[in-house]
Amino acid sequence: MSALSEVALQIASEIRKVNLREDQRIPTSDTFIKELMSLFSREPDELRNILETLRTAKIIFIIKIVLPDDKTSRMNDPGVDAYAYADLKILNDLKYYSEKKLERLYEATYYKKKSPSTITRELFPKIRELNNTPMGRMVNIAVMLEEYIRMMNNNPNEFQEEFRTQAIEDLLL
């Protein structure tokens, strides 16, 4: 196994560790990239490439939670991503966690209590307006986790450990 694939698997392991914590379970690129820079002594662009390779190998999922602003695109603003380890149990736990957080945020903002699915249906059409707000982030995360869970249930063979490890080796050679 190459040194780069070792680093990639260690990064995936870090994401898995964060996903299994009690609080702040969904790492985001605005802080997580800095943590990875200090852990692995690598440049942000190199880390983003490794994360993208992990996504291609179906080891992690990357959720775009803040889209880059059109105005600042000339300044090379990558936006903000969230990372989730591609494991069905972890994704279900993260979905429950994000839905509870979304419920609390919605209740604190609108002083109404609604179910996560109702909140998502109500707010997802307004996602552009909610870009870069805590509510927009949670709506995006909740919707995408639901999609990833559905994808893993529909294609379980694509997410088996042997295939993913081989895919990371092939991609990083």
What is the pLDDT averaged over residues 159-163? 85
Closest CA to 139 of 27, 86, 147, 70: 147
Q: Label residue 1 by pLDDT band (50, 70, 90).
A: low
Q: Whole-number mean pLDDT of the chain?
A: 90
Q: What is the model's pLDDT at position 74?
A: 52
Give the mean model confidence (pLDDT) for residues 102-117. Answer: 95
Please state, as a whole number, how many other Cβ atoms lie within 10 Å of the Cβ of residue 99: 20
Residue 73 has pLDDT above 60, yes or no: no
Angle between helices 161-172 and 3-19 (to 10 degrees): 130
Q: Are strands 60-66 and 80-85 parallel, antiparallel or unpaired?
A: antiparallel
